[in-house]
């Protein structure tokens, strides 16, 4: 029993250590009702967050000090401490800031017409919130291979991975990506996926046994799903050409005729020439020219 208790203690200790090591900020010792100050009394953000308009570094602490609060509140009266301090018997200042964002220029963003609400607007019960990666991506498009991480981060991009990216992540990340692909797209593009999922290593649950013989139905239903991995049209046409696979209408007796109007293929080409060119193009010169010349 003692051994079990000791083991549990070690596990809890290690779990807490890992949690703190991943950048979890300690609980705040202060409370501040933004809704009362901003919504009810119409106080502008800059009144309390002095210097934000000129701030060019994310390490700057823009939170108001006690002397600023004293412009409106009697901060010297001890019975008023509980207005802001969660532990009025032993009032403490702000918890230390911990952020993985080292580079952020408030001055530039505000100068381009953004306001505080653009990134810190309330959600749900929150009066204000810290900006999240999704806020950045609403303006800054994700680049492949983590090439744009240094816009805001100075650390190695691989060290910025979320806590979910632990041991075994590569084996079950598919479930997470299907549940919330938007979170993945904050850092990764489709080409990042294709670096590993090149076609030969797709798991059976994606392309099950016999998929080769029935994939045409899936492609007709949702070609966009196919194009998320198979970007080049040559991927389809090269395989079909090697195996002699032709569209069903190519087997019709009047598909191509040497006399008259040339058969049914001419009508199909007039209605949808791009479909023909998916397969019938030879070095930029349509295959049609073999019979029709360059007319």
pLDDT tens for residues 230-246?
777 777 878 887 888 88
Phi-psi region of 132 (alpha: psi -120 to 50; beta: other; left: phi over 0): beta
Question: Quick one: pLDDT at residue 203?
Answer: 56
- For residue 222, what are its two tokens? 């949702």
Kindly report the length of the chain: 295
Distance CA 186, CA 165 (A): 14
91 three-class SS: coil
Question: Quick one: pLDDT at residue 8?
Answer: 35
Distance (Å) of CA 49 to CA 68, 137, 247: 10, 25, 67
Distance CA 36, CA 228 (A): 48
The percentage of residues in the chain with a pLDDT greater than 90, rounded to a whole number, is: 6
258 has pLDDT over 80: no
Q: What is the dihedral of CA 125, 129, 134, 138, to 10 degrees?
A: 100
123 has pLDDT over 70: no
Average pLDDT along the chain: 77
pTM over 0.75: no
Q: Binning pLDDT at 50, 70 and 90, where does residue 201 land?
A: low
30 three-class SS: strand
53 has pLDDT over 80: yes
Counts of helices then strands in the chain (DSSP H, E): 16, 2
Distance CA 200, CA 197 (A): 7
Sign for the CA dihedral angle at 244, 245, 247, 253 comes to positive
Where do the domains of the chain lie?
34-120+128-156, 203-231, 232-292
137 has pLDDT over 80: yes
The percentage of residues in the chain with a pLDDT greater than 70, rounded to a whole number, is: 82
66 has pLDDT over 70: yes
Q: Binning pLDDT at 50, 70 and 90, where does residue 253 land?
A: confident
- For residue 62, what are its two tokens? 């823009």
Distance CA 185, CA 228 (A): 13
**DSSP string computed for 250-271:** GGSTTSS-SSTT--HHHHHHHH
User: Which range in 45-59, 88-102, 153-167 is most confidently predicted, on average pLDDT?
Assistant: 45-59
Average pLDDT, integer, range 161-176: 85
Q: Binning pLDDT at 50, 70 and 90, where does residue 111 land?
A: very high
Average pLDDT, integer, range 283-291: 66
């Amino acid at each position: 029993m003692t051994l079990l208790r000791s083991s549990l203690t070690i596990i809890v200790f290690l779990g807490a250590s890992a949690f703190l090591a991943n950048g979890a900020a300690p609980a705040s010792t202060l409370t501040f009702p933004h809704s009362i100050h901003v919504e009810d009394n119409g106080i502008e953000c800059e009144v309390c967050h002095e210097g934000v308009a000129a701030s060019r570094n994310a390490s700057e602490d823009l939170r108001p000090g006690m002397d600023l609060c004293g412009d409106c509140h009697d901060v010297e009266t001890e019975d008023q401490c509980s207005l802001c301090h969660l532990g009025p018997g032993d009032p403490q200042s702000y918890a230390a800031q911990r952020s993985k964002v080292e580079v952020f220029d408030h001055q530039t963003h505000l100068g381009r017409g953004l306001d505080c609400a653009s990134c810190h607007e309330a959600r749900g019960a929150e009066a204000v919130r810290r900006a999240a990666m999704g806020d950045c991506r609403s303006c800054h498009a994700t680049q492949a291979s983590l090439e744009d991480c240094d816009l805001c981060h100075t650390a190695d991009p691989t060290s910025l991975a979320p806590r979910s990216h632990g041991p075994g992540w590569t084996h079950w990340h598919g479930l997470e990506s299907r549940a919330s692909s938007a979170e993945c797209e904050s850092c990764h593009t489709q080409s990042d996926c294709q670096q590993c999922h090149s076609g030969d290593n797709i798991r059976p649950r994606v392309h099950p046994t016999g998929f080769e013989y029935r994939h045409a139905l899936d492609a007709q239903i949702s070609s966009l799903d196919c194009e998320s991995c198979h970007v080049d049209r040559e991927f389809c046409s090269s395989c079909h050409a090697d195996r002699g696979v032709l569209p069903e209408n190519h087997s019709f007796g009047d598909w191509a005729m040497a006399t008259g109007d040339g058969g049914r293929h001419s009508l199909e080409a007039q209605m949808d020439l791009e479909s023909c060119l998916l397969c019938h193009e030879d070095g930029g010169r349509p295959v049609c020219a073999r019979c029709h010349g360059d007319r």
